[in-house]
Amino acid sequence: MRVTGVIQAGGRSTRMGGQPKALLEVGGRRIIERVRDAVAPVVGELLLVTNTPDLYAFLGLPMVADVYPDHGSLGGIYSGLTAAPGEAAFTVACDMPFLHPEVVRLVVARAGTADVVIPRVGGQLETLHAVYAKSCLPHIEALLAERRFKIAGFFNQVRVAEVPESEIARHRDPALVFMNVNTPEELARARALAVDLG
C-alpha cells in the first residue's frame, strides 16, 4: 500500500504566544525539520498541511491548505488525506521533536491491515502519529459537517489496529516519541533532553 506522509502545521500556537512552534529550534534544528527527517525515510512522499505556506517554503515540500479552516486537527487530517496521492496517509503533528523513524515504520508497516493504524500509550491513542486510509474520508467529513472535532469520533465506524506501547518502547521511550512542544516550559525541557538525545 502506498502511504503518503502528512505533517500537520495548521495550528495557531496560542500557548507559544503565536510563535509557530514548528519553527522553534531543538538541538540545533527546527522542530519541523526533525519531524521531516524522522518521517521521510519511511514514506514515499511527504506533504504539509498549512495555512501559512510562506513560513514553510524552505522545506521544499508540497503544501495544501485546510479544506475546512478552523476545524482543528480533524480538519487537518481530512485535508492531508484528501490531498495524499497514496491510498493512506501517515499523519503526524509538527511539534514532536523526538519522533523515531523505527516507530514511524512500525505504524506504516501495518497500513492496509485496518482503516486506522494507531499507537496506544497508557490509555491514550496517539491520533497525530497514525495511518488513516482513504476509506476514513466520508466518516471524517460527516463529523466535520456536524462540527464534531474529536478525532476518535469516527473510530467505531471503521477498522482500527492498535500498536501496543511495548513495541514502541523497544525503540525509544514512548513519553519522548510522542512528546509535544506546546508551551515555553515544554520547549525548555525538549532543548535540555536534546543535549543527551541529539
CA distance 78 to 117: 16
CA distance 106 to 42: 10
| Confidence (pLDDT) at 14 | 52
Q: Which three cell numbers stand for residue 49?
A: 498541511
Q: Which three cell numbers stand for residue 187?
A: 520547549
- pTM recorded for the entire structure: 0.93
CB 29 within 8 A of CB 71: no
Q: What CATH number did the domain enclosing 67 receive?
A: 3.90.550.10
Whether 166 has a pLDDT exceeding 80, the answer reads yes
Which secondary structure element, helix H or strand E, spans residue 197, and what is its range? helix 184-197
- pLDDT, tens digit (0-9, with 9 covering 90-100), for 52-103: 999 999 999 999 998 888 888 999 999 999 999 989 999 999 999 999 999 9
Sign of CA dihedral 21, 40, 5, 84: positive
Q: Strands, E, within 9-137: which ranges?
A: 25-26, 29-30, 45-49, 63-64, 88-93, 116-121, 124-125, 129-133
| Confidence (pLDDT) at 17 | 61
CB 43 within 8 A of CB 2: no
Q: Which domain holds residue 154?
A: 3-197
What domain count does the chain have?
A: 1
- pLDDT, tens digit (0-9, with 9 covering 90-100), for 147-158: 999 999 999 999
Which secondary structure element, helix H or strand E, spans residue 161, and what is its range? strand 160-164
Residue type, 167: E
Whether 47 has a pLDDT exceeding 70, the answer reads yes
